[in-house]
Structure formats: structure tokens, C-alpha cells
């Protein structure tokens, strides 16, 4: 596992932005890199806590599996769901080609 | 006194006694919005026609004395993260500009069923990410106590609306302090219920394991009334709790005599303004005079709550915000060559800087190689914070501290320094991570700017938080405090 204190690089910012499907300009890469380095330095305080015997909490719920009866119920009308679509064709969302 | 200055409870009585109509009341509030709205910029959308239509319907209900509820005919503002069917709902983001939800949030339906009147959607930090409202994708909100200062955030529009007389009450959402901190900075009451107490169905998600909807009101009794209306299980949100909802008004006035109240020593943080500390210590003394026993307690992991939050919340946000891809709703960038490029451009142009920062931070914390060091460690720290509260509540009934370490700061003062901005939430974040409830109630002024006292109670013990906050409020004359904007407009 890489050491988190190794400074965040521009390449890592570009990589992470790509993973998040977030377009980012070269100026933004530098700005976010510097700001995130500053934030990560503050966050490094996390390592001070001894968690060697502590389980992780993913959510605070008392309930575990919440089940309901498997009976069909009406859905929203397709027209209501499609009314906000930036591009559509008939009863479908229209998207660009995935590959050129 | 103008109608828009009164509380939900006072106005309910006047409506029931037929002294006023809901249309009159709604017009009074709409007039105040017209008078000061451009100063506070509290609203993104004012739903004037809808409000007057709902007010007329409420008046019929009141006239017929049919199914009259505590909120029938009362004008309420809704934070823009709450979906209202066919009313533009954007979460303060350009990426959702013009989005018209096909359904309403459960809390919205519950208020509708009570006969409440909807004034509009209030401004907020984009996707509720912020502590000053300066991250709104549209325009910052100004504090009705001093227009050159922030109202806090992210529910700053709701807070400013209630504090300026532009709403009688409002709903906000709180992921790390977004109800309590703006309530403190604008001199109103803001209540974050326990996670699971209020349905999140129809709430535009920020961090799904932390988000909770709650009331923002002029006083504690109004907070109880509004919470009563929205609390309880919802089959459409499997994370909402099936626990029964107590009658919050029935215990509101029981006082603090014999109660044990804890003061976490870690909550008097470095950098806290002396006037804030003084007001909070005075408030604690006043509760002692009311018969509570006060003891110092320790929440030893408070110092790692903020770092844990700034991993967990951005990580959940980076996942939640993946849905904004320009395909099904919202903004879609033009000129992309293929689908991936369209996603990248849409998100680049649609999201503001703070949202992008948190998406990058959250994705980084979840990415291969860093997951254990950041995300998993933060989740373990969350367990430690839950344990801190559990141990403290073995000894005391509720905890007391400041809501925010500072009063409202000038617009622009912290926008260049994300870490300084994040510190605003240092004493509100633990309640979100620890799955407890917290209320902020006004406890004084410093140079004419409001200070908030925070009362934290165990999970699903909202009645205790309300009872302590009410006892404090009743022992002071702070309930009568009004922002200059509200006083001036009424004069």
C-alpha cells in the first residue's frame, strides 16, 4: 500500500478526475492538487486514532435487511420520467455513440 | 407587529380563532419577500401562485373546521435540495438548472397533507456542500443581521428566510452542520434529528449515511411542531426508522430540574471566539440555575471527527453525484464527440469548484491503494465517535456546547482557504457521524451578531434536546430577538 503522506501529484489528480468522469483544465489540475494537498495534510490527523481493534461503521442503522412484499406497484408514467431529458427519441433517452 | 414576524404557534391560534386568514398571512410574507428578497437572496424560486392557491385551500379547511392541523395555512420555505413535483429543484447547482421533479419528497407530501403553504425553494450551497452559502451555483445569500456577512450554510437560504420574515418556518438538511450552523449565525432555532427519524425520500443526496432533514424556526416550540409533522417511518426510505414518534409538545415544558447535562471539554476548540465561549458558558450557568446538574465530560475522539467527515462525506458524494451525466435530466454539454466526452464536459461545465474538489477528494479516498488508509480508517474512526457519545450518555442526559466557534463572518473571508472553511463545522460534525440529534438555539449576541447554543441528545431522543433547548429559551428573553431586516421592514 502506498504511503498516503507521499504528496499528491498532478498525474494522480488527472487520473482521479478521469475515474470520476470529470473534465478538468491544466490550471484546475494544479489548483486542485495544491488545495487537496493542504486538505490531505489536515486529514492526516486521522492516523492518530488507534483503530487496530475497531470495526468500521458504514451506516448508522439499527435495522438490517429491510424487506417488503414482492408485489407490483404502479411506476411513474414514462412521460413524467422523460420530461427532463436533454435529448430523447420517442420513449427513450438518447445518448451519443459510446465508440466513434 | 406584522404577521410575518410571528411564530407558527401564534399564527395557528390566530387562524383557528378566525382572526386572520391564511391568504392574508401568506400575502404578508410574500410582501416581505418582495421588500427584502433582493437583499438576502434567500430564495432561488418564489412559488407565489402555488402559495396563494394552497392558502385558499387552507382557509376553506379552517372555515369548515375540517382536518385542521398545526401547520394548516402556515407559510413554509423549502431548501432547494427537496424535490417538489413540477417546481424547479436544483440543489443550488447549475447542473440541475430547470429540473422539474416528477415526484415530491416525503417531507413535502407530509407538509402538503397538513395544509402548509409553500413559499418557494431556498438558496443553498451547491449540493449542500458548504458552510457559508458562497458555494451556491447561483448567488450567495446575505445574512439579515449584517448584509455583508454570510448566513452560514449550507441551509443559509432557509435560515435567512426565517430570520428576515420571508418565511414563518423552513426545512433544511444537515450532513455536517448545515441546519445548526446557519441557524446559529442567523439567530434562529435549527434542529438536526437523528439519522432515520425523518424520511430522506426525495432529498437530493449529498452523503447518504449522514444526510438528515430538519426544521428551522423562530423558536423551540415551532421546531417541535415542524418535526412532529415530518418525523416517522416511510416505506419509500428503507433507512427511515420504524420507531414510534413521541408527542414532542407533551414533554416540551418539563424543564431541566434533575437533569444531568454534560459539557464536553473538547468542544471549546482552539480558535473559538471569546464572545462565543462566554455566551455559551453563561447559557450553561443559566441551565444550572434552572435545576440541571452540570458536569464536564470527555469525547476523546472529537479531534478526528472533522478529518473522518472530510473523507466519508466526499466519498459518498463522489458516488452519489455520478448520476449527473447529462443523459436523463439537467444540463448537457454541447459539442462532445462521444458519450464519455459528453459526461466529462457536462460535469466540468455543470459543477462548481467546491463540488469538483469534493468529487476529486472522494474518488481519491476510494481509489485503489488509498482505500484502507483513508476511507476504511475514517469508518473506523466513526465507530470511535459513536462509542464516545454512547459512553457520555451513560452519565448524562444531554450535552451542551457552542454550535459554531465563530459568529457570522464577512462574505469572501474564507473562500480562498477550504481548510479554514471546513473548520466552521468542527463542533457540529460529530453529531452526524455519531448518529445522535442536535439542536441550535440562540444564546446571545456579540457586536449585534447571533450566537448559538448546541444541545445534543442521544439517538432518537429528540424530545430531550427540545426539552433542554426550550428550558433555556424560556429562561431568557432571546426569543424576542429579531434581525434588523425583520425589525426595519415591520416598522
Residue B235 with chain A: CB contacts under 8 Å: 68
pLDDT digits (tens, 9 = 90+) for B76-123: 999 999 999 999 999 999 999 999 999 999 999 999 999 999 999 999
Distance between CA atoms of residues A31 and B353, nearest Å:
10
- Residue B85's CB is within 10 A of a number of other CB atoms, namely 16
Put simply, the chain B residues between 88 and 147 with a CB less than 8 A from any chain A CB are 98-100, 102-103
Is the Cβ pair B242, A63 closer than 8 Å? Answer: yes
Grid cell for residue B375: 476511507
Going by pLDDT thresholds of 50, 70 and 90, the confidence category of residue B478 is: confident
Is the pLDDT score of B65 beyond 60? yes
Q: Are residues B340 and A87, on separate chains, in Cβ contact within 8 Å?
A: no
pLDDT (tens digit per residue) in B3-26: 999 999 999 999 999 999 999 999
What crossing angle do the helices spanning A26-43 and B305-320 adopt, rounded to 10°?
140
Residue in this structure with the C-alpha cell 476511507, named with its chain if needed:
B375
Average pLDDT over residues B477-488: 88
Q: In this model, does residue B490 exceed pLDDT 80? A: no
Residue with cell 459554531: B404
d(CA B381, CA B429): 13
Vertex B9, ends B173 and B197: CA angle to 5°?
A: 35
The domain locations on chain B are: 3-255+460-490, 304-376
Residue B85, all three cell numbers: 413535483
Contact B304 A49 (CB under 8 A): yes
**Does residue B154 have a cis bond before it (omega within 30 degrees)?**
yes
User: What does the pLDDT look like over B219-270, one tens digit per residue?
Assistant: 999 999 999 999 999 999 999 999 999 999 999 999 999 999 999 999 998 8
Burial A11-36 (b: 16+ CB within 10 A, else e): ebbbebbebbbbbbeeebbebbbebb
Question: In this model, does residue A5 exceed pLDDT 60?
Answer: no
Nearest CA in chain B to A44: B307
Mean pLDDT over each residue of chain B, to the nearest integer: 96
Cβ–Cβ under 8 Å, residues B244 and B228: no
Q: Which residues of B are less than 8 Å from A47 in CB distance? A: 373, 377
CA quadruple B471, B248, B254, B455: dihedral sign: negative
With H, G, I as helix, E, B as strand and everything else as coil, classify residue A19. helix
Rounded CA separation B377/B361 (Å): 15
- Minimal Cα distance from A12: which residue of B? B364
Three-state DSSP state, B214: strand
E-assigned strand segments in B138-203:
169-174, 189-192
Predicted local distance difference test score (pLDDT) of residue B7: 97
Cβ atoms < 10 Å from Cβ of B82: 27
Percent of chain B with pLDDT over 90: 95
Which of A16, A38, A62 is facing B360, going by the closest CB pair? A16
Residue of B nearest to A37 (CA): B361
- What local confidence, expressed as pLDDT, does residue A6 receive? 65
Of B242, B328, B373, the CB nearest to A84: B328
* pLDDT given for residue B310 in this prediction: 95
Which pLDDT score is estimated for B491?
58
Q: Which of residues 339-398 of B touch A (CB under 8 A)?
A: 339-345, 347-349, 351, 356-357, 359-361, 363-364, 367, 369-370, 372-374, 376-384, 386
Give dist(CA A69, CA B42) in Å, integer: 43
A51-92 confidence digits (pLDDT tens):
999 999 988 887 678 888 899 989 999 999 999 999 999 999
Collapsing DSSP states into helix, strand and coil, what is residue B70?
coil
Chain A touched by B268 (CB under 8 Å) = no
Chain B CB contacts of A68 below 8 Å? 235
pLDDT in tens, B175-206: 999 999 999 999 999 999 999 999 999 999 99
- Whose CA is closest to B136, among B127, B145, B144? B127
Distance CA B425, CA B443 (A): 18
CATH topology of domain B3-255+460-490: Amidase signature (AS) enzymes (3.90.1300)
CA distances from B400 to B45, B221, B379 (A): 36, 19, 25
Instruction: Cite the active site residues of B.
Output: 79, 154, 178
- B residues 190-229 lying closer than 8 A (beta carbon) to A: 195-196, 209
CA B240 remoteness from chain centre: 18
Q: Are B404 and B276 in contact (CB under 8 A)?
A: yes
Distance in angstroms (rounded) separating the CA atoms of residues B313 and B209: 8
How close, in Å, is residue B352 to chain A by CA atoms?
Answer: 12
Q: Is some CB atom of chain A closer than 8 A to the CB atom of B432?
A: no
- Which pLDDT score, from 0 to 100, does residue A2 have? 44
Nearest residue to B138 via CA among B84, B86, B195, B91: B91
Q: What counts of helices (H) and strands (E) characterise chain B? A: 17, 11
Q: Verify whether the Cβ–Cβ distance B360 to A13 is below 8 Å.
A: yes
The torsion defined by the Cα of B322, B324, B325 and B329, in degrees rounded to 10, comes to 150
Q: Of B361, B377, B386, which has the smallest distance from its Cβ to A51's Cβ? A: B377
Break chain A into its structural domains and give their ranges: 10-48
Best A45, A60, A80 member to test B by mutation, with max B CBs in 10 Å, is A60
All residues of chain B having their beta carbon less than 8 Å from the beta carbon of residue A22 are: 344, 347-348, 351, 356, 359-360
CA pair distance B232, B416, nearest whole angstrom: 41
Q: What are the distances in angstroms from CA B10 to CA B5, B221, B475?
A: 10, 10, 19
Which of B235, B349, B363 lies nearest to residue A16, judging by beta carbons? B363
Q: Which residue in A37, A95, A98 has the most chain B C-beta atoms within 10 A of its own C-beta, making it the best mutation to test that interface?
A: A95
Which residues are B75's β-sheet partners?
Answer: B117
Q: Identify the burial level of B347 via C-beta atoms within 10 angstroms of its C-beta, where 0-12 means exposed, 13-18 middle and 19 or more buried.
A: buried
Q: For the segment A6-29, what is each residue's pLDDT rounded down to a tens digit?
A: 689 999 999 999 999 999 999 999
The pLDDT value recorded for residue B489 is 66
Alpha helices in A8-48 (DSSP H): 10-19, 26-43
Q: What is the per-residue pLDDT for A3?
A: 45
Burial of B395 (0-12, 13-18, 19+ CB in 10 A): exposed
The answer to whether the Cβ–Cβ distance between B360 and A22 falls below 8 Å is: yes
Give the helix/strand (H/E) hosting B450: strand B449-457
Query: What is the side-by-side strand order in the sheet with B398-402?
Result: B43-46, B117-122, B75-79, B169-174, B212-217, B189-192, B437-446, B449-457, B398-402, B260-264, B293-297
Tell me how many degrees the CA angle B16-B21-B23 measures, rounded to the nearest 5. 140
Average pLDDT on B30-35 reads 97
- Residues of A within 8 A of B372 (CB-CB) are 1
A10-48 fold: Histone, subunit A (1.10.20)
Cα of B182 to nearest chain A Cα, Å: 23
| B-chain residue closest to A99, CA distance | B338
* Main-chain dihedrals φ then ψ at residue B75, nearest 5 degrees: -75, 125
**Helix (H) or strand (E) segment spanning residue B439:** strand B437-446
Amino acid at each position: 500500500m502506498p504511503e498516503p503522506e507521499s504528496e499528491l501529484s498532478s498525474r494522480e489528480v488527472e487520473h482521479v478526475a478521469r475515474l470520476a468522469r470529470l473534465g478538468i483544465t491544466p490550471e484546475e489540475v494544479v489548483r486542485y492538487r495544491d488545495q487537496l494537498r493542504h486538505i490531505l495534510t489536515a486529514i492526516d490527523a486521522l492516523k492518530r486514532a488507534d483503530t487496530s481493534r475497531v470495526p468500521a461503521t458504514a451506516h448508522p442503522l439499527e435495522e438490517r435487511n429491510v424487506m417488503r412484499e414482492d408485489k407490483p406497484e404502479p411506476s411513474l408514467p414514462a412521460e413524467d420520467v422523460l420530461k427532463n431529458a436533454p435529448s430523447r427519441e420517442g420513449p427513450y433517452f438518447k445518448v451519443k455513440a459510446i465508440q466513434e | 407587529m406584522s404577521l410575518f414576524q410571528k411564530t407558527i404557534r401564534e399564527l395557528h391560534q390566530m387562524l383557528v380563532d378566525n382572526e386572520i386568514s391564511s391568504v392574508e398571512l401568506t400575502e404578508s410574507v410574500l410582501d416581505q419577500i418582495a421588500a427584502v428578497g433582493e437583499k438576502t437572496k434567500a430564495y432561488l424560486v418564489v412559488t407565489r401562485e402555488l402559495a396563494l392557491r394552497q392558502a385558499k385551500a387552507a382557509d376553506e379547511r379552517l372555515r369548515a373546521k375540517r382536518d385542521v392541523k398545526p401547520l394548516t395555512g402556515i407559510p413554509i420555505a423549502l431548501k432547494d435540495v427537496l424535490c417538489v413535483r413540477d417546481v424547479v429543484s436544483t440543489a443550488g447547482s447549475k447542473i440541475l438548472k430547470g429540473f422539474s421533479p416528477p415526484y415530491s419528497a416525503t417531507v413535502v407530501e407530509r407538509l402538503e397533507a397538513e395544509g402548509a403553504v409553500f413559499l418557494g425553494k431556498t438558496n443553498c450551497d451547491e449540493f449542500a456542500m458548504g458552510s457559508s452559502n458562497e458555494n451556491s451555483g447561483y448567488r450567495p445569500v446575505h445574512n439579515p443581521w449584517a448584509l455583508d456577512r454570510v448566513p452560514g450554510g449550507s441551509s443559509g437560504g432557509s435560515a435567512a428566510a426565517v430570520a428576515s420574515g420571508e418565511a414563518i418556518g423552513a426545512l433544511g438538511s444537515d450532513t455536517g452542520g448545515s441546519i445548526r450552523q446557519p441557524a446559529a449565525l442567523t439567530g434562529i432555532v435549527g434542529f438536526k434529528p437523528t439519522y432515520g427519524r425523518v424520511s430522506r425520500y426525495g432529498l437530493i443526496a449529498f452523503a447518504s449515511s449522514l444526510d438528515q432533514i430538519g426544521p428551522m424556526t423562530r423558536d423551540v416550540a415551532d421546531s417541535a411542531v415542524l418535526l412532529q409533522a415530518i418525523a416517522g417511518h416511510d416505506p419509500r426510505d428503507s433507512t427511515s426508522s420504524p420507531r414510534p414518534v413521541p408527542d414532542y409538545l407533551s414533554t416540551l415544558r418539563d424543564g431541566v430540574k434533575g437533569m444531568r447535562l454534560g459539557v464536553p471539554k473538547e468542544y471549546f476548540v482552539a480558535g473559538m471566539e471569546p464572545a462565543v465561549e462566554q455566551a455559551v458558558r453563561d447559557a450553561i450557568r443559566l441551565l444550572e440555575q434552572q435545576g440541571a446538574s452540570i458536569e464536564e465530560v470527555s469525547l476523546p475522539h472529537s479531534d478526528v471527527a472533522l478529518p473522518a467527515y472530510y473523507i466519508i462525506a466526499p466519498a459518498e458524494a463522489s458516488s452519489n453525484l455520478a448520476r449527473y451525466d447529462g443523459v436523463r435530466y439537467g444540463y448537457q454539454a454541447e459539442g462532445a464527440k462521444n458519450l464519455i466526452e459528453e459526461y466529462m464536459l457536462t460535469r466540468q461545465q455543470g459543477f462548481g469548484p467546491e463540488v469538483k474538489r469534493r468529487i476529486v477528494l472522494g474518488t481519491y479516498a476510494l481509489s485503489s491503494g488509498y482505500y484502507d488508509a483513508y476511507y476504511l480508517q475514517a469508518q473506523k474512526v466513526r465507530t470511535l465517535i459513536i462509542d464516545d457519545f454512547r459512553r457520555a450518555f451513560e452519565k448524562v442526559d444531554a450535552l451542551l456546547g457552542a454550535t459554531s466557534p465563530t459568529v457570522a463572518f464577512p462574505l469572501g473571508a474564507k473562500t480562498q482557504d477550504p481548510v479554514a472553511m471546513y473548520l466552521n463545522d468542527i463542533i457540529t460534525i460529530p453529531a452526524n457521524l455519531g448518529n445522535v440529534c442536535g439542536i441550535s438555539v440562540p444564546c446571545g449576541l456579540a457586536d449585534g451578531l447571533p450566537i448559538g447554543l448546541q444541545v445534543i441528545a442521544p439517538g432518537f431522543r429528540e424530545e430531550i434536546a427540545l426539552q433542554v433547548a426550550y428550558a433555556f429559551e424560556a429562561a431568557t428573553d432571546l426569543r424576542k430577538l429579531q434581525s434588523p431586516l425583520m425589525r426595519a421592514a415591520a416598522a
